[in-house]
Amino acid sequence: MKTTFLTIKKKTIFAILLCFLAIGAFCATYFPIKASTTPKPLHTIVIDAGHGGIDGGAEGKITGVKESDLNLAFAKCLQAQCQDMGFRVVMTRNNENGLYSPSAPNKKKSEMEKRKSIIEGSNADLVVSIHMNSFRLSSCKGAQVYYAKGNELGKTFAGEVQTSLYEANKNSKTLPSVGDFFVLNCTDKPAILVEFGFLSNPDEEKLLQQESYMKKLCFAVLGGIMKFL
């Protein structure tokens, strides 16, 4: 009796194991499990806040606002919007400090090399450099987008962002321009430099410091990014 019972028990366990193996094989065939359950970001965007540290860039005559601070505020605003859309964002700077090495004899050169190395190490799909404009004629206003000469993808990308910014502010240019800027020339990736407005225009100097206007313009850039991608 004991032997028979054990034999039956072994047979039952064997049958159950076979069932599990068959179910496992069926599931693996018809319901393949992905290697990773963490969604991979579709694209990486470098957001570069221009200037910083001893280099404040342009300055507003009425409020005294520094371009470097406004650039950082816009960069953080665009970063948040891009991350909300699921993009991976690499920032060249996250605070008011300059990117140069404090001991570097040529701070400008040191800063540019740092920007370049961050872009190169980012594995980015796109680069957006953020600046504010200034001109001797205070009547100039609106946003302007630049790309590097010969960078065809950069030109297309700049066109999408410029169109989107024009929709948000009709004082903006309708077409992008070629710009001879280090941050654009240092990479083959689709890269643009956005001048969001003129600190030399009294109305725009104040407008650019309004959170709602900043969000609106950053959202326009995001719209251009989405259209390009």
Please give the size of the binding site for Zn ion, defined by CB under 5 A. Answer: 3
Q: Which of 52, 57, 60, 159 binds Zn ion (CB under 5 A)?
A: 57
Distance of closest approach, residue 169 Cβ to Zn ion, in angstroms: 18
Per DSSP, the three-state class of 19 is: helix
Q: Which two tokens stand for residue 194?
A: 């956005």
Position 154, amino acid: G
Q: Which two tokens stand for residue 130?
A: 């953020």
- Region of 51-59, 140-148, 156-164, 180-188 interacting with Zn ion (CB under 5 A): 51-59
Interaction between residue 224 and Zn ion (CB under 5 A):
no
- Region of 29-37, 82-90, 123-131, 177-185 interacting with Zn ion (CB under 5 A): 123-131
Residue with the two structure tokens 């404040």: 56
| 176/163 Cα distance (integer angstroms) | 9
Q: Which of 50, 142, 154, 159 binds Zn ion (CB under 5 A)?
A: 50
Q: How many CB atoms neighbour CB 186 within 10 A?
A: 18
| 79/72 Cα distance (integer angstroms) | 10
Distance of closest approach, residue 50 Cβ to Zn ion, in angstroms: 4
User: What are the two backbone dihedrals, phi and then psi, of residue 72, each rounded to the nearest 5 degrees?
Assistant: -65, -40
Interaction between residue 131 and Zn ion (CB under 5 A):
yes
Q: How many CB atoms neighbour CB 202 within 10 A?
A: 15
Query: Which residue, 50 or 190, has its beta carbon nearer to Zn ion?
Result: 50
- Region of 32-40, 86-94, 126-134, 154-162 interacting with Zn ion (CB under 5 A): 126-134
Q: How many CB atoms neighbour CB 11 within 10 A?
A: 10
Distance of closest approach, residue 133 Cβ to Zn ion, in angstroms: 8
Interaction between residue 154 and Zn ion (CB under 5 A):
no
Query: Which residue, 63 or 123, has its beta carbon nearer to Zn ion?
Result: 63
Per DSSP, the three-state class of 91 is: strand
Query: Which residue, 41 or 53, has its beta carbon nearer to Zn ion?
Result: 53
Distance of closest approach, residue 181 Cβ to Zn ion, in angstroms: 9
Q: Where do runs of H (alpha helix) occur along 169-210?
A: 182-185, 202-207
| 121/118 Cα distance (integer angstroms) | 5
Residue numbers at the binding site for Zn ion (CB under 5 A): 50, 57, 131
